[in-house]
Amino acid sequence: MSFLNYFSKDVGVDLGTANSLIYLNGRGIVVNQPSIAAINAKTSVVLAVGDEAKKMLSRTPPHINVVRPLVNGVISDFEVTQEILKHFLKMADSSSFGRYRMAVLGVPSNLTEVERKSVEDAALGAGVGRAYVIEEAVAATLGAGLPIDEPTSNMVVDIGGGTTDIAIISLGGSVVAKSLKIAGDHFNQDIINFVRDEFKLLIGEPTAEEVKIAVGSAIPLDEKLEIAIRGRDLASGLPREIIIKNTHARVALARSLKYIVDAIKEVIEIAPPELVGDIYRNGVHLCGGGSLLRGIDTLIAKELSVKCFIIDEPLTCVARGIGRVIENFDNYKRFLDNPIRPREINL
């Protein structure tokens, strides 16, 4: 081993719309931060990234923009994405002499070759020697410890911040896949719209996120949950406080949840019959932040008439799968950037 290779590091990146996770070879997940940056519009200087930038959301003066450079899993602002990656990679290991030899990045299954290339280029621009991509559904299957090389199917539903990735995995690849632009961020917008229409109160995204976590549910609950929120009254323009109950949140989220359930049904309908039989036996596996919504597994199980499981530690499932790839690259490199796309369906 050469002197340079001794200090080289391999890194896995789950570059999500809401949060980004960094897996460092030999150390595990070392960074888990929001994919947000605060930028001074006058000087184009990045003022804050991650948690510090999220604190500024909806609280900045006009010359400071708080932006999410990834929209629905796709890079919308290349330069900001590159800066965020640089910041997170430095946060992962701040040693001045270290360098990153290789990075494996998770991407949604529906990205075009150009969009995948932009993810690789962002990593290379952030100082990585080589960059590869892996489909997030395949990485989630690895992270969950499900059998990926066997001739049997596993259905994985990754409900993230910007996209819901649905895939049927068999023999190391996605047989049928769909990426839906309805996920955690869309849930927040549903709550904002509901509160505006029903209570004539304007709230921001951070408050909507708080409501979703505190009282959000996909099914009726035995317990009664409620939370006090504050915003701007649309009639008077003055501050006002209201109480939001779990029944309100469930009504707000109902339409988006139906879209997700319908998308899962469509993926199953187009899958080969033998794999559908495996899904009935093995069930549906949920991961991502959206899987933490109360009762979402029960709702999907009821609608599909199959078992539904939430993967252990669903927020880090994809990052752990990418970590398995970089820890044993020679065995898992066949899963990287398969140019043959799975069959995709569109609503």
Average pLDDT, 10 consecutive residues per value, the chain (347 residues): 56 91 92 92 90 88 90 87 91 68 88 88 91 91 88 91 91 86 94 97 94 96 94 95 96 96 95 92 94 96 94 93 92 72 50
Q: What is the rounded distance in angstroms from the CA atom of residue 335 to the CA atom of residue 109?
A: 13
pLDDT reported for residue 149: 82
Which residue has 């919308």 as its token pair? 76
12 and 79 assigned to the same domain: yes
Q: Name the domain boundary from 197, 229, 252.
A: 252
Are 96 and 195 within one domain? no
Q: Measured in whole angstroms, how far is the alpha carbon of residue 167 from the centre of its chain? A: 15
Of 252, 268, 289, which residue sits at a domain end?
A: 252
Same domain, 51 and 104: yes
**What pairs with residue 130 in β-bridges?**
102
Same domain, 161 and 274: yes
Beta-ladder partners of 37: 49, 67
Indicate if 238 and 129 belong to the same structural domain.
no
Q: Which of 252, 280, 306 is the last residue of a domain?
A: 252
pLDDT, position 278: 92
Amino acid at 330: D
**Do 267 and 305 belong together in one domain?**
yes
- Note down the domain range covering 173: 148-182+255-315
* Helical segments of the chain, H only: 3-7, 51-55, 78-92, 113-125, 136-143, 184-199, 205-215, 246-270, 273-282, 296-304, 317-327, 329-332
- Give the model's pLDDT for residue 2: 44
Per the DSSP assignment, residues forming a β-bridge with 9 are 100
Nearest 10 degrees: CA dihedral of 331, 122, 5, 337? 20
337 in helix, strand or coil?
A: coil
Same domain, 122 and 25: yes
What distance in Å separates the CA atoms of residue 63 and residue 162, rounded to the nearest whole number?
A: 26
User: Looking at the 3D structure of the chain, how many domains does it have?
Assistant: 3
Do 164 and 263 fall into the same domain?
yes
Does 305 share its domain with 330? no
Signed CA dihedral, 209, 14, 268, 309: sign only: negative
**What is d(CA 89, CA 116) in angstroms, rounded to the nearest whole number?**
20
The tokens describing 299, both together, are: 């709702």
User: Three-state DSSP class for 133?
Assistant: strand
Q: Is 279 exposed, middle or buried (0-12, 13-18, 19+ CB in 10 A)?
A: buried
**Amino acid in the structure at residue 253:** L
| pLDDT for the residue numbered 5 | 47
Same-domain status, 132 and 161: no
CATH code of residue 246:
3.90.640.10
Classified as helix, coil or strand, 168 is: strand
**Are residues 175 and 188 both part of a single domain?**
no
Tell me the three state secondary structure of residue 96: coil
